[in-house]
Amino acid sequence: MEKTVDPSRTLTVGEVARRSGVPVSTVHFYESKGLIASTRNSGNQRRFDSVVLRYIAIIKVAQRTGIPLDEIRDALRGLPAGSKPNAQQWQAMSRRWKDSLNERIEQLTRLRDELMHCIGCGCLSMNECPLRNPADILGQQGPGPQILERKLETGVAS
């Protein structure tokens, strides 16, 4: 993340942690993942532009809604370097994330509804149970949790 920093608005990692409410280790983690960036002062000490406080607030909100870090990073990279996101930019980001969130809500709602059949059942029926995966046949459909990740329009896996 390339950026221009006003030296009068720079913060130490401790100041960023205190003001943003996240541990220092989290600030370092966000930086290592390319979500925020720092510069070095003349004494080779890490300094952050105060705009990272807004970025961290956005990251925390996005994480609470389950947005993956790589999606957050991509959205933040779309912002002009070193600038505080304005209302329009925030709306654009939140609109994009809303679609992702709605997709996950659909998946989880479907999974919840399917698991309702299993609670207190225990049959693990090959024909009825959404948890059943005899001989790993779902593995032939691709990697990952096939039941969880299938789209509504593809129908129900057996």
User: E strand or H helix at 63, and its extent?
Assistant: helix 52-64
Of 10-18, 72-80, 81-89, 121-129: span binding ligand FES (CB under 6 A): 121-129
Query: Which of 74, 106, 113, 128 lies at the binding interface for ligand FES (CB under 6 A)?
Result: 128
Cα 78 from Cα 98, distance rounded (Å): 17
From 22, 57, 118, 138, residue interacting with ligand FES (rule: CB under 6 A): 118
Q: Pick from 61, 129, 146, 150 the residue near ligand FES by CB under 6 A.
A: 129
SS3 category, 5: coil
Single-letter amino acid code for the residue at 121: C
Distance from chain centroid for Cα 117 = 30
Q: Given the complex with ligand FES, which of 24 and 131 has the nearer CB atom?
A: 131
Counting contacts by CB under 6 A, is residue 157 touching ligand FES? no
116 is an interface residue for ligand FES by CB under 6 A: no
78: its two tokens:
């779309």
Euclidean distance between the first and the last CA atom of the chain, given in angstroms as a whole number: 46
Stretch of residues binding ligand FES (CB under 6 A), selected from 18-26, 46-54, 79-87, 128-136: 128-136
Q: CB burial class (10 A; 0-12, 13-18, 19+) of residue 95? A: exposed
| Position among 82, 117, 150, 158 found at the interface with ligand FES (CB under 6 A) | 117
Choose the stretch contacting ligand FES; rule: CB under 6 A; options: 23-31, 61-69, 101-109, 118-126.
118-126
Q: Please tell me whether residue 131 binds ligand FES under the rule CB under 6 A.
A: yes
- 70 CB burial (10 A radius; 0-12, 13-18, 19+): exposed
124 binds ligand FES (CB under 6 A): yes
Interface residues with ligand FES (CB under 6 A)? 117-118, 121-125, 128-129, 131
